Amino acid sequence: MVIVVGWLVRPTLNVKPWVEQRPVKDIDGDGALRLPTIKVGLGVFLTVATSLFALLISAYHMRMMAADWVTLALPRVLWLNTAVLILAGVAMQWTRSAAQWGQIDNVRLGLIAAGVLTFSFLAGQLWAWQQLNASGYFVRNDPATAFFYLLTALHGLHLLGGMWVWGRTTAKVLRGVEVAKVRLSVELCAVYWHYLLLVWLVLFAVLLHTHT
Amino acid sequence: MVLAGVLVLLVVGSVLFHYLSPWYFTPIASNWDTIDETVTITFWVTGFVFVVINLFMAYCVLRYRHRKGKPAHYEPENKKLEGALVLATTLGVIAMLAPGLFAWAKFIDVPKDAPVVEVVGRQWNFNYRFPGADGALGTVDARFISAENPFGMNPDDPKGQDDILISSPELHLPVNKPVKVELRSIDVLHDFTVPQFRAKMNMVPGLVTYLWFTPTRTGDFDVYCMQLCGIAHFAMRGKVVVDEEPAFKAWQSSHPTFAQTRTQVAGDAAAGKPLYAVCTACHGAQAEGNPALNAPKLSGQADWYLRRQLKNFKLGARGTHDKDVFGKMMAPMAATLADDAAINNVVAYIKTLPDTPAPPTVTGNAKKGHDAFETCGACHGADGQGTWATNAPRLKGMSDWYLVTQLKNFKEGIRGAHAKDMYGPQMGFMAAILDAQETNDLAAYIDTLR
Amino acid sequence: MTTVTHDESPYAPPAEVGEVELYHPKTFIGKYIWSQDAKVIAVQYAITAIGVGLVALVLSGIMRLQLGFPHEFSFINPSNYLQFVTMHGMIMVIYLLTALFLGGFGNYLIPLMVGARDMVFPYVNMVSYWVYLFAVLLLMASFFVPSGPTGAGWTLYPPQAILPGTPGANWGIILMLISLAFFIIGFTMGGLNYVVTVLQARTRGMTMMRLPLTVWGIFMATILALLAFPLGTSFFMPALVSRGEHLGYNGGSPILFQHLFWFFGHPEVYIVALPAFGIVSDLISVNARKNIFGYRMMVWAILAIGGLSFMVWAHHMYVSGMNPYFGFFFATTTLIIAVPTALKVYNWVLTLWKGDIHLTVPMLFAIGFVFTFINGGLTGLFLGNVPVDIPLSGTMFVVAHFHMVMAVSPILVVFGAIYHWYPKVTGRILNDTLGKFHFWVTFIGTYAIYYPMHYLGFLGVPRRYYAMGNSVVIPDSAQSLNAGITIAALIVGAVQAVFLYNLIWSYFRGKPAGGNPWRATTLEWQTPETPPKHGNFGPELPVVYRWAYDYSVPGAAEDFIPQNQPPAKTPGGPEKTLEKTLDAAELGPQKLDASGMPKPVGG
């Protein structure tokens, strides 16, 4: 973190601010990242989300070492869900390239496909919860189950947040706005989807690793 | 002007307060002078900084206050000055840190030959355990905890058989002998602190923590729990008595080993029946109690509680206060029970008697009593059935008028204040929060719990 | 040294939020309730935070009555006492100070000080406030559920936090955790705005090293919070979902929880402290009519403190039963963090030195802060040094220390800042007499509360005790000390009513302030209107030519030069700039010629 901020002040690191003298045109945008603000915003948010998931996973690992840990059997449907989420990521990537090439029809198709796949993933996750519940596990039963619900729920909530942006973008595309106006949104969606796919793969690996 | 003066006054006042006020460390009673010395060094370093910076600030406020035509001096930074200050600060920090780290190294390095004593924390009491002749503590596990085995001793561990169990919050230690204190909790986080020893450590469920010290003078010392552990946290107190070696040995040998507590036979109700004849006159044939004679209902009360109270009466821990008129009547009666076996037998007999709820006699606002009972329920159980683990007797269905009298006695120090009454002081703390009306309300509410 | 030329090219609008994209509220509700204007959101945050802080203040008054007069005031029982301790702590640290510094001052000052029209994501910013308000309401709701709010202490240590021996173990703790989760969600929304606005929306010429320290403090605190709060969720949530597991487990998880808690909890101290550091630097500089001494060191100190704050957490745990060898490491890192902190104190005092000190009400509070902070910081050296902590931890010494350093000190800054910026927010100056009265009672009163309290800690009086009762160590005289502390606390508490009265009275009757009543250099004082309109700066954003601390510059016409004032052309030639003058002045007075103007140096 200090490194990041250090990098930001890098251009002015050795400058004495009270004698700093440069033409305004050189100062313009000093230190600011030459990226769209919304992208910087997403970057900061993903950093925060990463720290959240990383810390949860480490808390999970440490809790697991306690003697009262009981493992639970993961529902098989999670494998299917994983495949669906990967497909959703692929669809998003495809949409992104379509947006770059300006193919509005493909953008429309890709967005809808990605949305449907993502909803299927979320439904599949709910189904997994249902299965766990049916087989007698309940949130309060033991820490392993509690962590499973917690991790999947948080991941799902992040996806739902993404779906909100997806919904707005898709609505725009369906209304027929030109492709340039949604290019940035599509790109942000794609980055976000890839990120959440990555998070899910890590989470799934962690859960699998400790349940076999 | 005023501000500068006030700053100077606050500095001077703080220093004077430090030297003149009667409040400071209690006289030390252990080998941890090094800790006190580190504190003294820290006081000198920080005190110096405190006085110098604040007086300088006061000087600046006075000297450089706004005056027409006197602009501020322009100086963006002064690397030399800042560097010198950083250096001086670092030296000051080292002066405090170095002795501190040495003291800490000693604190965590237990002498090899130090004998062990275990402190067991539970809501809201301290118990203690000494290793027996073999010098090693037996293993324990939360699964073994029960009314007969409050320490959770592993019954199959040969090392544990000779462990000496102190089921009271009072611990005796020999003077001038280092001791390693192993700390264990059986429910939540607790803490073991004796201010005069300067030593302190948390007790953590699932872990054994430790500290060590050498008591350097004889006397009585309070033990405090300094880690928030629930409603009665403030009432979780113990006592350490530092004795000369012989007195310590005598005290230690007056307590049973784990093996001895296991061989104590359960009371024999048949043998208890004739002994109970004495009690009948007041408490009634069915131990149903008699308000007219100020004798409470006994049937249905927990056996461990009845045993403890009979012993208290015998020991003089109860029924010896001048104002405890009815307790004084009970004391000679308890004395008729010759030994622990007799107490066990009579309690076993009482246990066979039918448990019919005592009739309500107290009028009060049960609704208000319900709110007040929230606190009581933490120990006595949400429905007042009593909880062995918290040393809290049953309340529901027992004589309500007796409850009112006893709460008053606790509040006024007539009961529970005796030095030998181990669990009484805690109830004293709790009773102190009730006034007469609230006591009646409580009793009225407890009458509804049946 | 290069010759300086100033770009005379016509003004080019910055790439950030343009006037056209700004959202324009039409209705009253759009303007003041569902507002997306950071300034309105700031006031919403501030009012909510102060409101909930008043609840916590009342709770502390009740607790003090119990401690000071245990026999006369037995109207709370031990459960209530612990509940009030918990709620007081949690509200003051999280819902008041964090929300007020970042949500209140952050929202108001960041866009104005960096020269932006608004936060970069105004909609998210608005949602942030409403989520925060919801978190506050949830927390308040816990007073009305069966068996009341949780009494687990603000640290919420398991296992006791979720066991029936602790008050509020069923409903209270759940509401507390859910409320915290919402607070964190709301904060993340706001925090994204504060960080990205500072990164992206600075106006032309506003380099990072020209930012006022207020912005630096808030910026760094937000980064700390963004990194630390997810941790908050990550340990609170397992605590919530694994309710019900308790007795008899053999893991070390209670200590694990404490590690996680303090890894979050210690940075939280700096989340409150860094904005205070920043704001007080500006208050002192303005009122001493002198640049903040050693600006660059101040920035580096903020960065160093922020970085180190993640490496000292276990100094809260010396007696927790953790591996004792950790003690060596954490005592060392903790005492190292004292060095940059001490440097900040030196630089505040050195800013006063040879200054032109105007003892305005904000300045009184700033100096009060420095005094209090020195005291609280120094007692931190006691608790940071591991063997000294042993006898003192868990006693009233700890309570006295952290109130000095992270309660009274930041609150004094909050007051100073409110007296300072109220004229910008409302256009009127707060009443001076009432302000001075408020300062004196608060400053001396809080010192009278907390300084003696350290000595109760030396005696061994434990914290979080409902009553001491009879004890061997604690003399009866300690009880009279406790009573004295209570009286001081009640007086200080009551005087806050004067402050509230002043806030309301001055809103209607206060002296009109004008645009720049303190004659300050930073951009928020250079707005065309006071209070600033939506969009802050009129049709064109300001261009920044200098740092934020050009006070009493030799040769300048006034004793302050606003950041957006273009350099004057000196008579020597059109290319010579004022900055040039400053640089020469820095070399020392001997370089100046008789007229007080610098000799030309370099090319």
pLDDT one-digit tens code per residue, C70-109: 877 767 888 899 999 999 999 999 999 999 999 999 999 9
What is the pLDDT at residue A24? 52
Contact of A16 with chain B, judged by CB distance below 8 Å, is answered with: yes
What is the pLDDT at residue A76? 85
Residue B270 reports pLDDT greater than 80? yes
Residue type, C469: G
Residue A136 reports pLDDT greater than 90? no
Residue C135: helix, strand or coil by DSSP?
Answer: helix
- More confident call, A6 vs A173: A173
Query: Domain B269-446's class?
Result: mainly alpha
| CB spacing of C205 vs A150 below 8 angstroms | no
Contact of C539 with chain B, judged by CB distance below 8 Å, is answered with: no
Which among A107, A113, A109 has a CA at the least distance from the CA of A184? A107
What is the pLDDT at residue C245? 46
Residue A23 reports pLDDT greater than 70? no
| CB spacing of B378 vs C359 below 8 angstroms | no
Phi and psi angles of residue C593, each rounded to the nearest 5 degrees, phi first: -90, -175
User: Per mean pLDDT, which range of A94-98, B307-311, C289-293, C573-577 is the poorest?
Assistant: C573-577
What is the pLDDT at residue C90? 94
Residue C178 pLDDT level (bands cut at 50, 70, 90): confident
Q: Are C161 and C239 in contact (CB under 8 A)?
A: yes
Q: Which residue of A has its CA nearest to C543?
A: A24
Contact of C342 with chain B, judged by CB distance below 8 Å, is answered with: yes
Residue C248 pLDDT level (bands cut at 50, 70, 90): very low
Residue C5 pLDDT level (bands cut at 50, 70, 90): very low
What is the pLDDT at residue A66? 64
What is the pLDDT at residue C594? 37
Structure tokens at C597: 């103007």
Residue C250 reports pLDDT greater than 90? no
**How near does any CA of chain C get to the CA of B450, in Å?**
22
What is the pLDDT at residue C35? 87
What is the pLDDT at residue C247? 39
Residue A83 reports pLDDT greater than 60? yes
Taking CB atoms and an 8 Å cutoff, what residues of chain B touch A143?
none
The overall average pLDDT reported for chain B is: 91
Residue type, C223: I
Across the interface, which of A2, A30, A52 has its CB nearest the CB of C230? A52
**How near does any CA of chain A get to the CA of C149, in Å?**
21
Across the interface, which of C201, C220, C241 has its CB nearest the CB of A150? C241
Q: Are B166 and B257 in contact (CB under 8 A)?
A: no
| CB spacing of C247 vs B81 below 8 angstroms | no
Q: How far apart are CA B82 and CA B264, in angstroms?
A: 75
Q: How far apart are CA A64 and CA C132, in angstroms?
A: 33
Across the interface, which of A1, A62, A146 has its CB nearest the CB of C223? A1
Q: Are C210 and A20 in contact (CB under 8 A)?
A: yes
Taking CB atoms and an 8 Å cutoff, what residues of chain B touch A18?
76
Residue A38 reports pLDDT greater than 60? yes
Q: Give residues 514 to 553 of C whose Cβ lies within 8 Å of A.
A: 543-547, 549-550
CB-based contacts of B48, cutoff 8 Å, min separation 6: none
**How near does any CA of chain B get to the CA of C35, in Å?**
41
- With a pLDDT cut of 70, the percent of chain C lying above it is 86
Taking CB atoms and an 8 Å cutoff, what residues of chain A touch C16?
37
- Under the phi-then-psi rule, with left for phi > 0, alpha for psi from -120 to 50, and beta for the rest, what region is C519? left
CB pairs < 8 Å spanning A and B: 4
ipTM of the complex: 0.91
Residue B269 pLDDT level (bands cut at 50, 70, 90): confident
- Looking at CATH, the fold of the domain delimited by A2-210 is given as Four Helix Bundle (Hemerythrin (Met), subunit A) (1.20.120)
- More confident call, A142 vs C446: C446
Taking CB atoms and an 8 Å cutoff, what residues of chain A touch B206?
66
What is the pLDDT at residue A130? 87
pTM of the model: 0.89
Residue B404 reports pLDDT greater than 60? yes
What is the pLDDT at residue C571? 45
pLDDT in tens, C554-592: 888 888 999 988 886 544 434 334 444 344 333 333 333
The DSSP annotation for A172-184 comes to HHHHT--HHHHHH
Taking CB atoms and an 8 Å cutoff, what residues of chain A touch B76?
16, 18
Across the interface, which of C9, C196, C234 has its CB nearest the CB of A41? C196
Q: Give residues 297 to 316 of C whose Cβ lies within 8 Å of B.
A: 297
Max distance between CA atoms of chain B, in angstroms, equals 105
Domain boundaries, chain A: 2-210
What is the pLDDT at residue C17? 43
Q: What is the mean pLDDT of residues B136-156?
A: 88
Q: Which residue of B has its CA nearest to A18?
A: B76
* Residue of A12, A48, A58, A70 best to disrupt the C interface, most CBs of C under 10 A: A48
pLDDT in tens, B420-432: 888 888 888 888 8
Residue B59: helix, strand or coil by DSSP?
Answer: helix
* Chains contacting chain C through 3 or more C-beta pairs under 8 A: A, B
Taking CB atoms and an 8 Å cutoff, what residues of chain B touch C152?
228
Long-range contacts of the stretch C12-20 (C-beta < 8 A, 24+): C12/A28, C12/C204, C13/C540, C13/C541, C14/A28, C14/C203, C14/C204, C14/C541, C15/A29, C16/A37, C16/C116, C16/C117, C16/C120, C16/C200, C16/C201, C17/C116, C17/C117, C17/C118, C17/C120, C17/C201, C19/C117, C19/C535, C19/C539
| CB spacing of B53 vs C345 below 8 angstroms | yes
CB-based contacts of C13, cutoff 8 Å, min separation 6: C540, C541
pLDDT in tens, B175-225: 999 999 999 998 889 999 999 999 999 998 888 999 999 999 999 999 999
pLDDT in tens, C124-175: 999 999 999 999 999 999 999 988 999 989 988 877 887 778 888 888 888 9
Boundaries of CATH 1.10.760.10 in chain B?
A: 269-446
pLDDT in tens, B224-240: 999 999 999 999 999 99
What is the pLDDT at residue C234? 62
- More confident call, B419 vs A34: B419
Across the interface, which of C165, C339, C343 has its CB nearest the CB of B230? C165
- More confident call, A139 vs B239: B239
Contact of C327 with chain B, judged by CB distance below 8 Å, is answered with: yes
Residue A8 pLDDT level (bands cut at 50, 70, 90): low
User: Per mean pLDDT, which range of A17-31, B133-147, B272-286 is the poorest?
Assistant: A17-31
Residue B65: helix, strand or coil by DSSP?
Answer: strand
What is the pLDDT at residue B309? 92
Q: How far apart are CA B117 and CA A171, in angstroms?
A: 73
pLDDT in tens, C463-504: 999 988 777 777 888 889 999 999 999 999 999 999 999 999
What is the pLDDT at residue C583? 41
Q: How far apart are CA C28 and CA C32, in angstroms?
A: 6
pLDDT in tens, B33-66: 999 999 999 999 999 999 999 999 999 999 999 9
Across the interface, which of C74, C78, C387 has its CB nearest the CB of B100? C387
What is the pLDDT at residue B39? 94
What is the pLDDT at residue B188? 87
| CB spacing of C331 vs B104 below 8 angstroms | yes
What is the pLDDT at residue A34? 65
- Looking at CATH, the fold of the domain delimited by B116-262 is given as Immunoglobulin-like (2.60.40)
Across the interface, which of C6, C237, C307 has its CB nearest the CB of A1? C307
Query: DSSP state, C167?
Result: T
Q: Are C134 and C182 in contact (CB under 8 A)?
A: yes
Across the interface, which of C195, C245, C299 has its CB nearest the CB of A143? C245
* Chains contacting chain A through 3 or more C-beta pairs under 8 A: B, C
